[in-house]
Amino acid sequence: MCPIPVADPRAPPVYLPVGVGGLTRLELSPGFPNGIGTPSVSNGEVAMLCAEGIDVRALDLESFPASFSIVRRAGRVYGNLWSAGRTPEDVTTQWLTFDVDATGYFGQGEHAAIALFLDAPALAGRLPAIIGNGIVFGEVELAPSGCGGSSFPSVPIDNTEVEAFWRGGNSLWGESCGSAALANDQVYRFLVRADTAGAVRYESRTGAAQAVASAVIDTSARRPALDPANGGILIGSTNFCSTCPDFEIRFTHVAAGWSAWPIDDPRMAAPMPLSPDVTALAFAARTTGTRAPTQRVMFTNTGSSRYAKSAASAFRIGSGSVSLA
């Protein structure tokens, strides 16, 4: 997107969604109806970002990139992303994992929403709304049950907690707050899980040390019914203070998938045995001999990086050929 390619970008790219009229950005701020807007991005804005050495790219929202940045520049936030999707059959849990670090973010009153089971059409609709389940990190102490607020004053303000999102409302669970404050220029690794029944759980680490391992939070008692068929994802920061200093949030090693395991299954602590960039597996075979009759060889995939679900396929062997059935 940059007129002159960024030779040595200092951070992951900032991706801009492609709308009907060109590049757009997702803005989460009080200046838009329901606090959500998708204003267009001008060529001048792209040039401004590129001049700073930011690698700007277009994204069609078919899938989440493995790394990206969210930045605030000139009072506008660029890089908030969402994806559309439908929940596959025979799974119950959606998971998302990522590393994140920030510069100038914590301490400014902003927070980032991470939503699974996202209703993407509702987010992009005429009356936009965030509908899903997940977490929030940053500052939400002014909200009921916000970390560091009047209901949970013993925990730090800059924190992480479970949040449910629906049209016209949201809810936080302060019992899921961490005990240590989130800090700028510190890398955190997150694993977020949500299931079709409305349960949410997250874990975070700093290096080899575990920072938070929340209990499983059942959001269903407080929220309207969640449509488990929606399988989108949202990662986006608010922009409550457009006159405040710039910030950057860098996401790397981003990967997501589905599982037939329960949300609290210990195997979910390591849902990525394959590279996050692997989206398909290819098989090849060569004939080494012939043998009859045809045999079926079954294999079961119980934990790929894209679908951590049980899925059986078969090879047919015989008559001098091998094929995937």
Q: Which of 117, 123, 127, 41 is nearest to 78 (CA)?
A: 41
Instruction: Tell me whether residue 192 is exposed, middle or buried, using C-beta atoms within 10 angstroms of its C-beta: 0 to 12, 13 to 18, 19 or more.
Output: buried
* Confidence at residue 3, expressed as pLDDT on a 0 to 100 scale: 76
Gap between the terminal Cα atoms of the chain: 43
Residue holding tokens 């930011």?
Answer: 54
Report pLDDT for 267.
82
Q: Look at residue 124 in the predicted model and tell me its pLDDT.
A: 86
How would you write 157-186 as a 3-class SS string?
CCEEEEEEEECCEEEEEHHHCCCCCCCCCC
What token pair was written down for 224?
A: 């309207």
Quick one: which of 93, 95, 80 has its CA closest to 190? Answer: 95
Contact 162, 200 (CB under 8 A): yes
Place of tokens 């559309």: 84
Could you tell me if 260 and 309 are in contact, meaning their C-beta atoms sit under 8 angstroms apart? yes
Distance (Å, whole) CA 120 – CA 87: 12
Q: How many CA within 13 A on the CB side of residue 171? A: 15
Contact 251, 114 (CB under 8 A): no
d(CA 118, CA 126): 17
Amino acid at residue number 242: S
Domain definitions of the chain by residue range = 14-269, 275-325
Q: Which pLDDT score, from 0 to 100, does residue 278 have?
A: 42
Report the pLDDT value the prediction gives residue 293, as an integer from 0 to 100: 52
How many residues can be counted in the chain?
Answer: 325
Per-residue pLDDT tens digits for 52-76 = 999 999 997 667 899 999 999 999 9
What are the residues whose beta carbons fall under 8 Å from the beta carbon of 234, sequence distance 6 or more?
A: 80, 81, 82, 113, 114, 115, 118, 123, 130, 132, 134
Instruction: Give the Cα separation of 94 and 69 in Å (integer).
Output: 23
Name the nearest CA neighbour of 170 among 201, 195, 146. 146
Per-residue DSSP letter, 46: H
The number of angstroms, rounded, from the C-alpha of 312 to the middle of its chain's C-alpha atoms is 28
Burial category of 159 from C-beta neighbours within 10 Å (exposed 0-12, middle 13-18, buried 19 and up): buried
C-beta separation of 168 from 129 below 8 A: yes
Q: What is the CA radius of gyration of the chain?
A: 22
Enter the pTM of the model: 0.83
Looking at domain 14-269, does it have CATH number 2.60.120.200?
Answer: yes
The label of the residue with tokens 């209703």 reads 119
- Mean pLDDT per 10-residue interval, the chain, length 325 residues: 73 91 94 93 95 91 86 97 94 97 97 98 92 98 96 97 97 96 96 97 87 94 96 97 96 95 84 43 48 49 41 32 32
